[in-house]
Amino acid sequence: MNYLAVNNLTKYYGDKLLFKDITLFIDKGQKVALIAKNGSGKSSLIKILQGLEPPESGDFKFHKDIKAGFLVQEPEFDDSKTVYETIMHAENPILMASLIYEHALDGKGDLQTAMNKMDELEAWDYEQQMKTILGKFLIFDLDQRVGTMSGGQKKRLALAILLLEQPDIFILDEPTNHLDMDMVEWLEEYLSKNNITLLMITHDRYFLENICNEILELENGVLYKHKGNYSKYLENKELREENMRVNVEKAQNTFRKELEWMRRQPKARTVKAKSREDNFENVKEKATAKIQDKPVEMEVKMQRLGGKILELHNIHKEYDDKVLLDKFSHKFQRGERVGIVGRNGCGKSTLLNIIVGDEQFDKGNIVLGETVVFGYYNQKGLQLKEDKRVIEVIKNIAEFLPVGKGTLSAAQLLERFLFPFEQQYNYVSTLSGGERRRLYLLTILMKNPNFLILDEPTNDLDILTLQVLEDFLMDFKGCLVIVSHDRYFLDKLTEHLFVFEGDGKVRDFLGNYNEYRLQLKEEARQSRNEEKNSALQNSKTNIAAVKRKLSFKEQTEFKQLEKDIEKLTLEKVELAEKLSGSITDHKEIQKVSHRIDEILKQLDKKEMRWLELSEFA
């Protein structure tokens, strides 16, 4: 069944052609990713599918019987509403019933009416699913005003609402931005389900590898289609570019011959000569086609790090009685590459700010080497002057960057990071979000640091930019510290991790992120085995104890337990009948419900004890 059909769409941004005559189809169960350089029109395509922007030509159509759900990069909410009120706008009666029930449990509504609605819609399983999804994205306070939430929290709220709405096709623009590692991995597992149909824009290459079965690449206005995951896409792209190189070389040879013929011809043309002249223009176009060159290696000449670099001794930091760092110590070595991972708000950025001196610590000591030059990329620093041209932003820092045996000019470095010459004289105000981040990153690199700290550098960067950045960082000889939720990026560039586990505890793990996850799985397996062995040992102990008889005290307890269990069971039945009867007062309902919970707990405890004693009765 075809869910989405896009036919010959063309879109301009001002005078710039974003894409021309692109066509694509998405069937039920397909998981398709769209990748392209920033500014190529990915988000514009999403806006067209939303109906927010018109194309210059072409059309698209969703199947009449399906519902499409969209996640945009900057979701818009009414800041005056609470999380509860915001979710209630979702067009899903089961979700609404589950939410009303949760509120009624807190005394904010009629519990009996809410329970009846849950029964009517058979929503009890969904209610648990709602709790799971909201909990995964750390959304617990339904009474919080949306206006008090950060941009990242709003993005997580929008994603949670979309997953709860359960549309027939998900259309997601950078869904992993603002998610921590646990959230990303849970979302990856969720979207991998066979019954989910998906079109997404993402730079998360593990997402592309593990979820997608087709990748669409938008390049120079042309849409290329690759069946398979990210690995298959890389193979196909390499083959396509190699074929293009061969074809261009053939065209260049033909072009040289045709050019010589054109120069030899007299001004008066025959019909045959005119035909050959027209063909010459076609050959010229193929011969001068641009081919994406492989990035060159770029070893930056930086100030050499001395023997003493950076030492952290028993650093302690807390906010409002919340411990973020508890006696954290580490001595950095020359060329060390560290990845930092952990839940949002656990102290990762705080550690970075302490290292560069932007935040004070409560206890401990820091020793900094005299030759260290920090380069610090963080989200707060992303403030570029709108009225400056792109090349002016870089030249204001340095005209040239020493590399290898020579230097790179500001213009050359901009080209290296995918700012073509014609874009270098555009104003900063015309850049997309991802292009601004790329330019800001360049301002950090132009300062020629030997200790580079990157706080979430991959947000909003396209895959081509990430590959360029990775190539640069692979050649970087200084110390490198990276906070990122991009698992692929971390695995490629880091050699060990600082894992923030909460309550100020930081695990120093030797290895990359994938190796760390394997270690966690092994630890969980060992823990399960220990539990099984413990249970087996307890079972053997119980069997050995069967030979003994009950004491007089235990016999009395055994008889009393039988009476208590019978009495509690009877009370539970009576209360259940009362709850399903004519009670309307929500306070009374809560009181009865609370008593039933107490009875169930007592029954569990007494029945367990009765079973233990019955072995010897």
Considering its fold, how many domains does the chain have in total? 5
Lowest mean pLDDT among 255-269, 384-398, 450-464: 255-269
The angle, 0 to 180 degrees and rounded to 10, between the axes of the packed helices 181-191 and 151-165 is 20
pLDDT for the residue numbered 320: 83
Residues 54 and 86 in one domain: no
Q: What's the mean pLDDT in 543-547?
A: 53
User: 521 lies in a domain?
Assistant: no
User: 261 lies in a domain?
Assistant: yes
Q: What's the mean pLDDT in 112-138?
A: 82
Residues 14 and 114 in one domain: no
Whole-number average pLDDT of the chain: 83
The angle, 0 to 180 degrees and rounded to 10, between the axes of the packed helices 124-136 and 151-165 is 160
Residues 163 and 176 in one domain: no
At 34, which amino acid appears?
L
What tokens appear for 587 in the block? 């306070």
Residues 275 and 316 in one domain: no
Q: Higher-confidence residue: 322 or 268? A: 322
Lowest mean pLDDT among 88-102, 323-337, 377-391: 88-102
Place of tokens 């360029």: 468
| For the chain, counts of helices (H) and of strands (E) | 19, 20
Q: How many residues does the chain have?
A: 617
The answer, yes or no, to whether residue 272 has pLDDT greater than 60, is: no
pLDDT for the residue numbered 581: 65
SS3 292: coil
Residues 248 and 390 in one domain: no
User: 557 lies in a domain?
Assistant: yes
Query: 228, 250, 267 — which closes off a domain?
Result: 228
**C-alpha–C-alpha distance, residues 451 and 335, integer Å:** 9
SS3 394: helix
Query: 228, 246, 261 — which closes off a domain?
Result: 228
**DSSP designation for 303:** P
Question: Confidence band (pLDDT; 50, 70, 90) for 344?
Answer: confident
pLDDT for the residue numbered 289: 55
Residues 26 and 99 in one domain: no
What tokens appear for 310 in the block? 């950076």
Q: What's the mean pLDDT in 471-499?
A: 91
What tokens appear for 205 in the block? 């290459």
pLDDT for the residue numbered 296: 41
Q: What element of type H or E holds 219? A: strand 214-219
User: 294 lies in a domain?
Assistant: no
pLDDT for the residue numbered 295: 46
pLDDT for the residue numbered 102: 79
Q: Higher-confidence residue: 154 or 613? A: 154
User: 561 lies in a domain?
Assistant: yes
For 241, counting Cβ atoms within 10 Å of its Cβ (0-12 exposed, 13-18 middle, 19+ buried), the class is middle
To the nearest whole percent, how much of the chain has pLDDT over 70? 88
CB 348 within 8 A of CB 506: no
**C-alpha–C-alpha distance, residues 463 and 207, integer Å:** 12
User: 375 lies in a domain?
Assistant: yes
**DSSP designation for 381:** G
**C-alpha–C-alpha distance, residues 565 and 611, integer Å:** 12
**C-alpha–C-alpha distance, residues 53 and 11, integer Å:** 10
The answer, yes or no, to whether residue 542 has pLDDT greater than 70, is: no
> Where are the strands (E) in 101-196, listed by range?
169-173
pLDDT for the residue numbered 458: 85
> Which of 35, 58, 62, 38 is closest to 50 using CA atoms?
62
pLDDT for the residue numbered 178: 81
CB 170 within 8 A of CB 30: no
**C-alpha–C-alpha distance, residues 477 and 465, integer Å:** 20
Contacts of 593 (CB under 8 A, 6+ apart): 111, 579
Residues 137 and 20 in one domain: no
For 143-161, write each residue's pLDDT tens digit: 889 999 888 889 999 999 9
Q: Facing residues of 509 across strands?
A: 497
CB 325 within 8 A of CB 355: no
The answer, yes or no, to whether residue 288 has pLDDT greater than 60, is: no
The answer, yes or no, to whether residue 297 has pLDDT greater than 50, is: no
**Cα separations (Å) of 446 from 334, 389, 390, 489?**
21, 16, 14, 22
Residues 154 and 268 in one domain: no
**C-alpha–C-alpha distance, residues 333 and 311, integer Å:** 9
Place of tokens 């009370």: 571
CB 471 within 8 A of CB 425: no
Query: Three-state SS string across 498-522, please?
Result: EEEEECCEEEEEECCHHHHHHHHHH
Residues 62 and 196 in one domain: yes
Query: 167, 201, 220 — which closes off a domain?
Result: 167
**Cα separations (Å) of 70 from 75, 143, 163, 278, 356?**
10, 25, 10, 48, 39
Residues 501 and 412 in one domain: yes
At 189, which amino acid appears?
E
pLDDT for the residue numbered 34: 93
**DSSP designation for 359:** S
Q: What element of type H or E holds 397? A: none
User: 266 lies in a domain?
Assistant: yes
Question: Confidence band (pLDDT; 50, 70, 90) for 587?
Answer: low
User: 345 lies in a domain?
Assistant: yes
The answer, yes or no, to whether residue 240 has pLDDT greater than 90, is: no
Place of tokens 């405890």: 605
For 55-103, write each residue's pLDDT tens digit: 999 999 999 889 999 998 888 888 998 888 888 776 678 878 888 887 8
Residues 44 and 117 in one domain: no
Lowest mean pLDDT among 117-126, 137-146, 423-432, 578-587: 578-587
Residue 444 belongs to domain spanning: 310-511
For 425-469, write each residue's pLDDT tens digit: 989 888 877 788 888 888 888 888 889 999 988 887 888 888 888
Q: What's the mean pLDDT in 116-134?
A: 80
Residues 486 and 592 in one domain: no
The answer, yes or no, to whether residue 497 has pLDDT greater than 90, is: yes
